[in-house]
Amino acid sequence: MRVFIAMELPQKTRENLCRSMQQLADHATRGSFTAPQNLHVTLHFLGEVLPENLIYVQSAMDSIKDLPAPTLAISQISTLRASDVVCAKLKYDQKLLDVHTTLGNNLEENGFDVEHRAYRPHVTLMRRYAFDLPFSEVTKGVKVYNMPFEGTQVVLYQSVLNKDGPTYTELYRVQLPARLDQ
């Protein structure tokens, strides 16, 4: 089964990103938008994993459950360099990097391959895009709703690719502690 681990977005953040995607859609001539329920911040993509090995992924996830939840905010709508992806780039604190690194180290200790390139957290909004204006002009009309939020939910998803786009099924969840002052 094809799996990845992601930070779930709060409902309000998803709604705000959907507003930004609608503004992008006003100028899109081609492309596929991410379904609202599929918006997330990927921590680690694992690819194909045998069902009997999911327990080792869950064990790695359990090892981060005492790490403090990171604070994130949408900073801008952009494209990923050398790709066909429009995304929401994030402002984030060191806690997100701590979650990503600790989880990656524990996955490796449990026998999984993880990427070692620089981690660039983002939310994919659109793939295979084309617009009726230069992208820099399109983004001038896209409002960025960037209310900070805590990433308290880390989820293991199974991804099934369909002709209408991917379907994600939750397999396991870990909650990170929220700040005490909220």
| Structural domains in the chain (count) | 1
**CA distance to 35, 40, 92, 94, 179, per residue, from 32 (Å):** 9, 16, 27, 32, 36
Query: Could you give the CA distance from residue 12 to residue 150 in angstroms, rounded to a whole number?
Result: 12
pTM, rounded to two decimals: 0.93
Q: Which of 160, 177, 163 is nearest to 4 (CA)?
A: 160
Q: Is 50 helix (H, G, I), strand (E, B) or coil?
A: coil
Quickly state the pLDDT bin for 146 (edges 50, 70, 90). confident
Asked if the structure places residue 180 within a domain, the reply is no
Domain that holds residue 139: 2-175
Does any domain span residue 118?
Answer: yes
pLDDT, greater one: 141 or 168: 168
In a domain, 113, yes or no: yes
In 3-state terms, what secondary structure has residue 176? coil
Inform me whether the pLDDT recorded for 181 exceeds 60.
Answer: no
In a domain, residue 8? The reply is: yes
pLDDT at 155: 98
Say what percent of the chain tops pLDDT 90. 86
Residue 180 pLDDT more than 70?
no
